[in-house]
Amino acid sequence: MDGKVIAVALNPSIDRTIQIQALQPYELNRVVHSETDPGGKGINVARVLHNFQTEAIVTGFVAGSTGHSLLTFLQQKQISQDFLEIEGETRTNVKAFDRKAHKTTEFNEGGCPVSPEDLQAFRKKFQSLCQGANIVVLSGSLPPRVPQDIYAQLIGIAKEQGAKTILDADGEALHEGLKSTPYAVKPNIHELEQLMGKKLQTPQDVLQAAHELIQSGISLVIVSMGADGAVVADAQEAFRVHSWDIPVQSATGAGDSMVGSLAYALLHGLSLREIAQLTTAAGTITASKPGTQVCGQAEVMKSIPLVTVEPMKMA
């Protein structure tokens, strides 16, 4: 089925990606290629959904000339948006890709401070947007002065409107957001370890931690583990997922591609096994692309047979 998805981007950015031959700290580095794209996890999610021919409206805060540039980018990419414009300046992030090491060094600004009045105005906008929405995705960092429980508040509003919610956050925002019991959550291994307060040494440890979240009322958990794949679980079953070998160009947006494709999967009623395959394929394809480019639907669907899915059981 087709449906409406809201992607929340409270702290969006303009992302400037530069490529250099080999990073030399504290020395002059010649840029061999550069590109500029709209950035932030919520915007990446909306871009993925747009590529999957799914209606997605991205919302959050924008400010200043950088914010206007961001809106122009979204318009050019034909991504629907309904942002609240505030005082200040939307942040700019720089991502430096080292061609020799195949690694990216990121420089992210903190973002534009949000006043209590702006936050209240956004809550009203968000409540209106959630009417008729099937899925609401809440992801990314928070701007200065925004309370750490904002995702918990927004999850509550979305659930009142009958929408399923997906949370992809870290630190205190993740911890607080879980208190409102989102439908699905996608921490990476490091975020899950921080949440649990311990190292997760094996996939079985990861599954145990995922089941603790499920026992709290969350329906679906995806734990991304980088090159080690992912663990995908609900109350009935669980899978260990491996991608195929592919040259990594940039990890930027890989997790967001998993979240965007998860929203698509939930809209279309896919099984947990199919969700495991689709989200891993989406994340892998995006990781193979330079800069902040994200996966397309056709290439993801074509790659699904390359994904290895193994059932897991609780010990």
- Distance separating alpha carbons of residues 11 and 91, to the nearest angstrom: 8
- Which two three-digit tokens encode residue 156? 């509550």
Contact 123, 157 (CB under 8 A): yes
Contact 38, 70 (CB under 8 A): yes
- Which two three-digit tokens encode residue 5? 């998805």
Q: CB-hemisphere CA count at 13 Å for 163? A: 28
Contact 68, 38 (CB under 8 A): no
DSSP conformation letters of 162-206? T-EEEEE--HHHHHHHGGG--SEE--BHHHHHHHHTS---SHHHH
- Distance separating alpha carbons of residues 256 and 270, to the nearest angstrom: 19
Catalytic residue among 15, 118, 205, 256: 256
Neighbours of 26 (CB within 10 A): 5
CA angle 281, 79, 162 (to 5 degrees): 80
Residue 152 CB-density burial (10 A; 0-12 exposed, 13-18 middle, 19+ buried): buried
Phi first, then psi: give them for residue 164, nearest 5 degrees. -80, 140
Q: Clarify whether 256 is annotated catalytic.
A: yes
Q: Which sequence positions are flagged as catalytic?
A: 256
